[in-house]
Amino acid sequence: MKMEIKGIGASPGLAMGYAVIYQKFEISIPDTIPEDVDAEIKKFQSARHESICEVTALFDKMMKDGAGEAAEVFMAHKEILEDEAGFVMPVIERIREKSENAVRAVAHVLNSIVDIFRSMDNEYMQARAADAEDLRDSVVANILGIQKPFMKDNLYSEKKIIVSYDLAPSDTAKLNFDKVEGIVTQSGGTTSHTALLARTLELPAVVGAVGLLEHVKDGDFIVLDGETGKIAVNPDKQEVEEYQKRKDEYIKQKNELREYSGRRSITLDGRQVRLEANIGTVSDVQTAIDNDAEGIGLVRTEFLYMERKELPSEQEQFEAYKRILEEMGDKPVIFRTLDAGGDKSFPGLTLPQEENPFLGYRAIRICLNTPSLFKTQLKALLRAGVYGNLKIMFPMISSLDELRRAKILLEQAAEELSAAGVPHRKKLSVGIMVEVPAAAILADCFAEHVDFFSIGTNDLVQYTLAADRGNPNVADVYTTFHPAVLKLIASTISAAEKAGIECGMCGEAAGDPTLVPLFLGFGLKKFSMSSSSILKIRKLISSLNYEECKRMSERVLQLNTASDIERILKK
């Protein structure tokens, strides 16, 4: 049947092909009581070892497929499988003391981990519940000795669109990516595992497509638009031709952008800027390099704290930071210290339940209050700094006092390393995120105490306009085009310029083609964005005239409404 379904665009691009419906594996728990407890424990242990081998093999395959970010979930799976206190012992205890069969005991212990993720007030962590369910199904299938059904054999014969309720990490890992054109799922949001993986592999994807499985059957012809979230089911010939044209145009544009790799980011009249990447995991570095990032303008270090019950050790952090620095060579890498709280919660960090978490206990506030947590990270960073061009940045700074205290702890961390004779970086640039209006208003004072600013528009907009960045009900209030926001950005850039310090921007607005000419006109010289935007923005910069942008930005600052500003910029 011909129809259109609307979902959420999760990974850009147009894809077409025949639908392959992937059915989820349903586990059924037997009621049996084990006759021989030791044999049952043995059964559990060998299934566990089998699962360890499977996740290790999947990790290797994903790394080979160039999906490093998505591969990391399998390392997290392996950690759970090898966690004696949190997984192995509780399962054995249930078999021994409660006479549960191995399937029931495993399902019980892993379901409680699923429940923890599911109860978290954070879309990202909730999405991790599906990962834990996947792990549970894998161990259970191995205990029962059944093959986990996966893709139909015909999947690999020609290009297909995978259609599913949701895709667990191990499902996606088994896909032969050469034969998959795109992915559509009925559930999930833009931070779901499917979305992350699709973006890493540059596969068009639509998630959250309500009613998908009701209407789409195996073999239906599907066209999906990963930008708008539109899915056309069995479109007619004319529509398909139309889509094909758009797809060709999209691919052509993408290939044309490759020309901008290896070039300078410079305007027609010779103003050179830097285009850097925002990254969230170690494996994102490769995507940044592939897109010719001139540095890393933001490492969101939170990735090390996710999906685990204990906090990462200094050594573990050191190794991750060192890898990032080494891979970037002499290019600058700005590590932002832990930005927990707000919309980011972590199982290893117990935070109070708050009425208003974005205005609550978060980021630098937590770190200053928990010096051991903060100093562990600072020491790991300083040690890693020996291996590359390290810069450290503090998030959510709202007062000079906070900055002073953060710098004292950084000095103490360095002193403790010196006293222990541990090699570490002695001289480095220290900066702050300007993402709270107080910091923007006092930018001239802050500029005397730091080496650089990085403007975080994502938070600066929400705090300036009192509009939650994730709340769809106030999405129209939340706008970077608001004159109050733009005035704060402009004055922060000029305060930095006066003081002779660097000023960059790492909020989403830095990669927005409508706003880039304006920020360039304000005098911004460093733009940090998702890697996939870099070449597009370099092409844009190459077509701009800085002096014209400057005059335009002066005119924009005279305007009093967001709608007027948006209209002018979109002309």
Task: State the CB neighbour count (10 A cutoff) for residue 33.
Answer: 12
Q: Which does 300 bind (CB under 5 to 8 A by kind): ligand PEP, Mg ion, none?
A: ligand PEP
Q: Does 101 bind ligand PEP (CB under 6 A)?
A: no
H helices within 399-467, ranges in order? 400-419, 437-441, 443-447, 457-465
Q: Does 435 bind ligand PEP (CB under 6 A)?
A: yes
Q: Least distance from C-beta 469 to Mg ion, angstroms? A: 9
Q: Does 459 bind Mg ion (CB under 5 A)?
A: yes
CA 271/CA 14 separation, integer angstroms: 35
Is 178 buried (19+), middle (13-18) or exposed (0-12) by CB count in 10 A? Answer: exposed
* Residues 401-424 as b or e (16 or more Cβ within 10 Å = b): ebbebbeebbeebbeebeeeeeeb
Instruction: Please say which residue, 343 or 497, places its beta carbon nearer to ligand PEP.
Output: 343
Q: Which of 193, 367, 424, 482 is catalytic?
A: 193
Structure tokens at 118: 């599911």
Active site residue 193: yes
Q: Least distance from C-beta 217 to Mg ion, angstroms? A: 44
Q: Which does 306 bind (CB under 5 to 8 A by kind): Mg ion, ligand PEP, none?
A: none
Question: Which window, 212-220, 397-405, 451-459, 539-547, contacts ligand PEP (CB under 6 A)?
Answer: 451-459
The helix or strand, by DSSP H or E, that contains position 164, with its residue range, turns out to be strand 160-164
Contact 484, 466 (CB under 8 A): no
- Within residues 328-367, the interface with ligand PEP by CB under 6 A covers 339
Q: Least distance from C-beta 462 to ligand PEP, angstroms? A: 8
Quick note: the x/- pattern for Mg ion over 410-439, rule CB under 5 A, is -------------------------x----
Cβ-Cβ contacts under 8 Å for 251 (sequence gap 6 or more): none
Q: Least distance from C-beta 456 to ligand PEP, angstroms? A: 3
Q: Least distance from C-beta 207 to Mg ion, angstroms? A: 24
Q: Least distance from C-beta 339 to ligand PEP, angstroms? A: 6
For residue 184, the cross-strand partners are 163, 206
Q: Does 166 bind ligand PEP (CB under 6 A)?
A: no
CA 478 to chain centre: 21
Distances from the Cα of 132 to the Cα of 307, 344, 359, 434, angstroms = 9, 19, 31, 36
Contact 226, 38 (CB under 8 A): no
Which of 506, 520, 535, 537 binds ligand PEP (CB under 6 A)? It is 506
Q: Does 297 bind Mg ion (CB under 5 A)?
A: no
Q: Does 300 bind ligand PEP (CB under 6 A)?
A: yes
Instruction: Please say which residue, 177 or 358, places its beta carbon nearer to ligand PEP.
Output: 358
Q: Does 456 bind Mg ion (CB under 5 A)?
A: yes
Question: What amino acid occupies position 226?
Answer: G
| R_g of the chain, CA atoms, integer Å | 25
The SS3 assignment for 112 reads helix
Structure tokens at 491: 């004055």
> Which is it for strands 265-266 and 272-279: parallel, antiparallel or unpaired?
antiparallel
Q: Does 65 bind ligand PEP (CB under 6 A)?
A: no
Q: Does 457 bind ligand PEP (CB under 6 A)?
A: yes
Q: Least distance from C-beta 516 to ligand PEP, angstroms? A: 15
Q: Does 458 bind ligand PEP (CB under 6 A)?
A: yes
Active site residue 449: no
Q: Does 431 bind ligand PEP (CB under 6 A)?
A: no
Q: Does 284 bind ligand PEP (CB under 6 A)?
A: no
> Which positions are annotated as active-site residues?
193, 506
> Which parts of this chain interact with Mg ion (CB under 5 A)?
435, 456, 459
Q: Which residues here bind ligand PEP, judged by CB under 6 A? A: 298, 300, 339, 435, 456-459, 506-507
